[in-house]
């Protein structure tokens, strides 16, 4: 695991400077920000209630991304609950149920993390499953870097 993600993960309480880019609690009501920069990358966690691996990714790994200076301005964290009938605003600006968004992206189990550009197009390979040996941060960081590169058109 690279030091860039390890240090924030190990920091007590995972305190974030400034307003958090990923707040615990209610699911986001929008997948994207209409005025987002063109090279923004949406890191979208597809989760299920009571999924311990989803909780670990949500609480330990995703909050570290906006704390990393390489990602701060270009990464947005979102969560979609695979089985939820609740609605959110999809990338096209229209309402969609969480479950429909998961189905459209072919997400069949949790946790799954997708790396999407501002149009909802995949920009890195999906990250499937949870962390059982402490390597997840490295895999996540690699996919974020790939996604940012692709979103920037490189």
Contact 133, 146 (CB under 8 A): no
pTM score: 0.81
Strand partners, 115: 43, 124
Residues linked to residue 97 through DSSP beta bridges, in sequence order: 87
CATH number assigned to the domain with residue range 1-8+32-70+107-154, chosen from the 4 options 1.10.720, 3.40.30, 3.90.75, 1.20.120 = 3.40.30
Q: Crossing angle, helix 136-151 and helix 3-10, to 10 degrees?
A: 120
Residue 120: burial class (beta carbons within 10 Å; 0-12, 13-18, 19+): middle
Task: For 54-95, write each residue's pLDDT tens digit.
Answer: 999 999 999 999 889 999 889 999 999 998 888 999 998 899
Cα–Cα distance measured from residue 62 to residue 75, given in angstroms and rounded to the nearest whole number: 10
Domain coordinates in residue numbering, the chain = 1-8+32-70+107-154
- In terms of pLDDT, which residue wins out, 154 or 61? 61
**For the chain, first and last CA: distance in Å?**
25
Cβ neighbours around 60 below 10 Å, total: 16
């Amino acid at each position: 695991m690279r030091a860039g993600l390890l240090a924030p993960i190990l920091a007590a309480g995972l305190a974030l400077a400034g307003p958090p880019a990923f707040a615990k609690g209610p699911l986001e009501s929008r997948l994207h920000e209409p005025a987002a920069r063109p090279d923004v990358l949406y890191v979208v966690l597809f989760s299920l209630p009571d999924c311990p691996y989803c909780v670990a990714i949500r609480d330990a790994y995703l909050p570290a991304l906006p704390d990393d200076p390489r990602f701060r301005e270009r990464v947005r964290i979102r969560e979609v609950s695979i089985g939820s009938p609740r609605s959110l605003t999809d990338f096209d600006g229209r309402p969609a149920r969480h479950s429909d968004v998961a189905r459209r992206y072919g997400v069949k189990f949790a946790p799954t993390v997708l790396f999407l550009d501002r149009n909802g197009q995949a920009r890195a390979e999906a990250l499937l499953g949870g962390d059982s040996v402490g390597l997840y941060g490295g895999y996540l960081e690699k996919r974020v870097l790939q996604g940012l590169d692709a979103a920037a058109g490189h």
